[in-house]
Structure 1
Amino acid sequence: MRGYPKHLNTRADYEYVRTHFPKEMWKEDFEALIATEKEWYNIGEVEGIGVEDDTHKVVIDEKGKKKYQYEYKMNPNAKIHKLRYTKEEIEAILKYGKE
C-alpha cells in the first residue's frame, strides 16, 4: 500500500495506519469512530413540554403543530461497534499512540 488509504473499512485497516503512519494522519479517523457512537433517535410524538436535558430534546415539525421527543443513545450500527472497538480502547489509542 502506498500513501495513506482513502477509506478505512476494517479493524486491520485502522491498525495498519496506526502502526505505519504518524499520529497526526490517523488521529481524526479514530476520533470519528467515537463521534458516531451515539445518535439522536425519534422516540415518539409528545404532548406537553417533553424532556430536555443532555440526552433528550424536543423537536417541533415544520408546521409548528407537532412535537417529537428525541433521545441521544447508542447506535448499534455504528462503525466503532462493527469494528469491535470500545470507546475506552479508542481513547487509550489516542492518548498513547502506537503503544
Structure 2
Amino acid sequence: MRGFPKVLNSRQDYENIISDFGYTAKVKRAYEGLLNTAEKYEFDKELAAESDRTGPAPEYKVMTQEEEGTEKIVQYKLVNNPDGKIFKLGFTIGEVEEVIAQC
C-alpha cells in the first residue's frame, strides 16, 4: 500500500491501518469518523421559538428552515443510528473508543 488509504470500506481496512501506520493522528481521525456514524439527528418537532428547545446541544439541535417563503424553527434529536457504518462493519463503540484512546 502506498500512503494512507482514502477509502476504508471494511473492518479489515480499519485493522490494516493500525498495523501499517500504528496509533497515529491519521488513524485516530479515521476511527473518530467511524464513531461519529453511531448516532444521527432525526426530526423531533417544530418550535414556536428557539428558546422552546427540549434540551441542550448536542442532544438537541435547533435550526431555522425556510419553506415557501415562511421561516420555521425545527428541533432535531440525536438518536442511535443502527445503520451507521460502525455497526455495518461489525465494530462496537467500545472497540472504536479503545483504539482512539491508544492514539
Change (3 A) 1:50 1:23: closer
Change (3 A) 1:5 1:59: closer
Partner of 1:78: 84
Aligned-CA RMSD value: 2.3
Aligned length: 97
Q: Indicate if the aligned counterparts of 1:42 and 1:69 stay in contact, CA closer than 8 A.
A: yes
Regions of 4+ moved over 6 Å: none
Change (3 A) 1:22 1:42: same
TM-score, normalised via structure 1 length: 0.76
The SS at the match of 1:23 is coil
Deviations 1:6-50 (Å, cap 9, x if unpaired)?
A: 211000101111112132232210111112322221123345724
Q: Indicate if the aligned counterparts of 1:51 and 1:58 stay in contact, CA closer than 8 A.
A: no
Which ranges of structure 1 fall in alignment gaps of 5 or more residues? none
Q: State the alpha-carbon separation in 1 of the partners of residues 3 and 71 from structure 2.
A: 53
Matched, 1:61 2:65: yes
Partner of 1:22: 22
Identity %: 33
Q: State the alpha-carbon separation in 2 of the partners of residues 72 and 64 from structure 1.
A: 26
Matched, 1:52 2:55: yes
